[in-house]
Amino acid sequence: MKQARRLDNAPPYLFVEIEANIKKALAQGVDVINLGIGDPDMPTPDFVVDKMISAVKDPKYHCYPEYSGCIEFRTAVSRYYKRRFGVTIDPETEVVALLGSKEGIAHIFFALVNDCDFTLVPDPQYPVYQLATALTGGVPYPMPLTKENGYLPDLSVIPQEVIRRSKILFVNYPNNPTGTVADLNFYQRLVDFALEHDIVVCNDNAYSEFTYDGVIAPSILQAKGAMETAVEFHSLSKSYNMTGWRIGYAVGNKDAISKLKKMKENIDSGIFTAVQLAGTEALNRGDEFAKTMRSVYKRRRDTAMEELKNLGLEFEVPKGAFYIWVKVPPSFTSKTFTSMLLEKTGVVVAPGNGYGSFGEGYIRISLTVGHERLKEAFERIKQLSF
């Protein structure tokens, strides 16, 4: 059976490949330690689960949900943004609930990008930005994130012809995979650039609650003029250990949000209202829980950094998210080093080239395993010579 031509441009999704490698190793009896996928290992908080249980039992939530999200959830998002970032959001026109932020990120490309339009996407990147561009018929223009530029894109080197034909500029801070945190001055430059060139600027802010060493992640919507051009995507997956619940949201410019809503109204029928009410509970009551998770990841981060130093491996000190971006040893590529670790130690990491060409020569270590299991992974790696 032939597939649609658009799928010819879609490579196998990185994390599907990682899962396949894990399944193969498990079938061979390997005790796998998975440092490859950013899926929190701790449970969703009880107060969220309890709310879900009570809502599921209520028959009035067994019908179709609202397409844009129930007003309780959208209001909770608005209150969170006011409390956390000092940003006023209209829950009626400037919020849309998502089936996880990944879905919304993909769909905004479909809502805004035509054939042969450019999209400005980071490299390395969360793979969905480039994949969604390819599926819409657009042309991804990579913005290199290099150590020399502090893993921030340099807008000054983008050709004017590319800028003229660009519809979306996408960033992701706190950054996956590098752990970089952008400041408000950077966001202001992005917003000014987007306003000048009539581009929608999007920030994937899924890791906003995980920052370290006194750093606090801002929202792009705090920048002057942001509501005229910016959209921010957020997820409940990381902050509240809700990856399996599939709930997130987009906020920002009401015109862009309305186009994203229109796309979704014709594609899906919304999120089960009981899940939204559980998400409402997370947003309203979850600040202390997220703070506790931040301290857990900081301890793991500090342990991993000490172990990497002992191994003599170069890495970036992450100020945000829960990953470490590690340079592979000489004579290895991202793929060969990743394959060697799995084969010889049973430790899974993500190859940097899966995040783009500028990720070659790196691996990403995820801190989403328990502290003792993390230490065991490094004990196994210490037995190698490279």
Q: Are 330 and 337 in contact (CB under 8 A)?
A: no
pLDDT at 9 (0 to 100):
74
pLDDT at 28: 85
Residues 84 and 183 in one domain: yes
Domain of 377: which CATH number?
Answer: 3.90.1150.10
Q: Where does a domain end: 232, 262, 285?
A: 285
| pLDDT, tens only, 232-274 | 999 999 999 999 999 999 999 999 999 999 999 999 999 999 9
- Order the strands of the 248-252 sheet from edge to edge: 95-98, 248-252, 230-235, 200-204, 166-171, 118-123, 139-144
Distance CA 123, CA 176 (A): 11
Question: How many structural domains does the chain have?
Answer: 2
* Pair (99, 155) in one structural domain: yes
d(CA 90, CA 77): 10
Q: What is the pLDDT of residue 252?
A: 98
Q: Do 349 and 236 reside in the same domain of the chain?
A: no
Q: Are residues 28 and 89 in the same domain?
A: no
Mark whether 305 and 365 lie in a shared domain: yes
Binned average pLDDT, 10 residues per bin, the chain of 386 residues: 82 73 81 94 98 98 97 98 98 98 97 97 96 95 96 98 98 98 98 98 98 98 98 98 98 98 96 98 98 98 98 97 97 94 94 95 98 97 89
Compute φ and ψ for 9, nearest 5 degrees: -90, 0
Instruction: Give me the residues paired with residue 34 across strands.
Output: 348
Residues 88 and 176 in one domain: yes
The Cα 132–Cα 136 span in angstroms is 6
Q: What is the pLDDT of residues 168-195, one digit of tens each?
A: 999 999 999 999 999 999 999 999 999 9
- Same domain? 133 vs 278: yes
Structural domain that includes position 36: 5-43+288-382
Examine the domain organization and report whether 278 and 352 are in the same domain.
no
Q: State the greatest distance between any 2 C-alpha atoms of the chain, in Å, as a whole number.
A: 61
Same domain, 99 and 172: yes
**CA nearest neighbour of 31 among 384, 385, 380:** 380
pLDDT for 176 equals: 97
In the three-class reduction of DSSP (H, G, I as helix; E, B as strand; rest coil), residue 225 is classed as coil
Looking at the DSSP assignment, which residues form a beta bridge with residue 121?
142
Which pLDDT does position 20 carry in this prediction?
80
pTM: 0.95
Looking at the structure, tell me whether residues 110 and 251 fall in a common domain: yes
Q: Are residues 93 and 237 in the same domain?
A: yes
Domain containing residue 109: CATH number: 3.40.640.10
Q: Which of 285, 302, 335 is the last residue of a domain?
A: 285
Final residue of a domain: which of 235, 255, 285? 285
Q: What is the pLDDT of residue 19?
A: 78
* For helices 334-345 and 371-382, angle between their N-to-C axes, nearest 10 degrees: 100
Instruction: Identify the DSSP state of 315.
Output: B
Same domain, 206 and 311: no
C-alpha 224: how far from chain center: 24
